[in-house]
Structure formats: C-alpha cells, structure tokens
C-alpha cells in the first residue's frame, strides 16, 4: 500500500509541484517510492495548467523532470486520498480547514518540518533565481523533514 502525501499551494504551478517532485525523488532515493508517493494541488488552480517554465528549469538542474505536470484544483477526493496534507502557507491551511474541517488533523505547514511556523514565499512571476531559491528551500525542508513526514503519516490523528 502506498501512502499518499498531498502538497498544496495556490496555483499548483510552482511550489506544490516542486515539493511533490522533490519528495518523490527523495522517496525513490530511499528505495521507498513503493511506500510513499506525493501529488500536488492548488487552492485556486486552473486544471491542466503546466508547471511554470522557471519551476521546470529549477528542477531540471536537479535532474527532475516536471514537464508532464498539470495543475489541478483541490477536491474532497484528493484530500480523502491523502494520508498527510502539507501546505505552503498559513492561509492555505486556514482555507482548507474552513472548507474541509474533517481534514484538520492531517494538514501541516511545510515549515513544520523544521519545527517552525512560517510561509513559503510564492515565486510566481519572479526571476529564475527566485525559483531556484524556492526549490532549494523546499529541497532542504524535504531532506531534513523526510522522516518527519513519514511519522506524520503513521501517527494517530492529532
């Protein structure tokens, strides 16, 4: 059985697809991609929108291909299928809890991976350097917090 991690941002073209791809690459390196798999979605996404060009480039430099990604808006089904939901900002968390209160216990901020509370800045419309910075931040959080994500999946509801 594969445990699904759902990463959430706003448009599902920058932060959450990068986090999804970085997490899946990390699970592959650990030989655990049969156990853990990430998807991504957005609170205001337009379905079938490709990842932004800079997001694709930022991950390509890390050997990760994001060209097949297509955005999708959040649905109850996506939330229900996820063992853990990881959001980029407090406003994403608040919006999801407001719309889907039953999911509250499995929603975490990305920054909680390092026991902090802060928002991951949206690089949308920014320079390639801003996307690279965002990708580096996400990569570091996932590398540092990979075991914590697994513990969130396997712990009782909070």
pLDDT along the chain (158 residues), means of 10: 93 99 98 97 97 99 98 97 98 98 97 97 98 99 98 79
Catalytic (active site) residue 15: yes
CB of 89 closer than 8 Å to CB of 12: no
Residues 6+ apart with CB under 8 A from 77: none
Using a cut of 0.95, tell me whether the model's pTM lies above it. yes
- Active-site residue among 14, 15, 93, 134? 15
Rounded Cα gap, residues 96 and 102, in angstroms: 10
Catalytic (active site) residue 94: no
Q: What is the pLDDT of residues 111-150, one digit of tens each?
A: 999 999 999 999 999 999 999 999 999 999 999 999 999 9
Domain extent at residue 26: 3-154
Report the chain's C-alpha Rg in angstroms: 14
Quote the tokens at residue 8. Answer: 């959430």
Catalytic (active site) residue 80: no
- Active-site residue among 33, 104, 119, 122? 122
- Number of domains, the chain: 1
Residue 41's domain is classified under what CATH number? 3.40.50.2300
């Amino acid at each position: 059985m594969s445990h699904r991690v759902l990463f959430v941002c706003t448009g599902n073209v920058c932060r959450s697809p990068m986090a999804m791809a970085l997490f899946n690459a990390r699970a592959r390196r650990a030989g655990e991609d049969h156990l853990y798999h990430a998807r991504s979605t957005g609170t205001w996404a337009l379905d079938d929108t490709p990842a932004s060009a800079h997001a694709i480039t930022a991950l390509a430099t890390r050997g990760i291909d994001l060209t097949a990604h297509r955005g999708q808006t959040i649905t109850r089904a996506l939330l229900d299928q996820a063992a853990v939901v990881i959001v980029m900002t407090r406003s994403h968390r608040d919006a999801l809890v407001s719309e889907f209160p039953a999911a509250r216990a499995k929603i975490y901020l990305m920054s909680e991976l390092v026991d902090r509370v802060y928002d991951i800045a949206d690089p949308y419309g920014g320079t390639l350097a801003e996307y690279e910075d965002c990708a580096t931040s996400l990569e570091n959080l996932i590398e540092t917090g990979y075991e914590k994500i697994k513990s969130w999946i396997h712990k009782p509801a909070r």
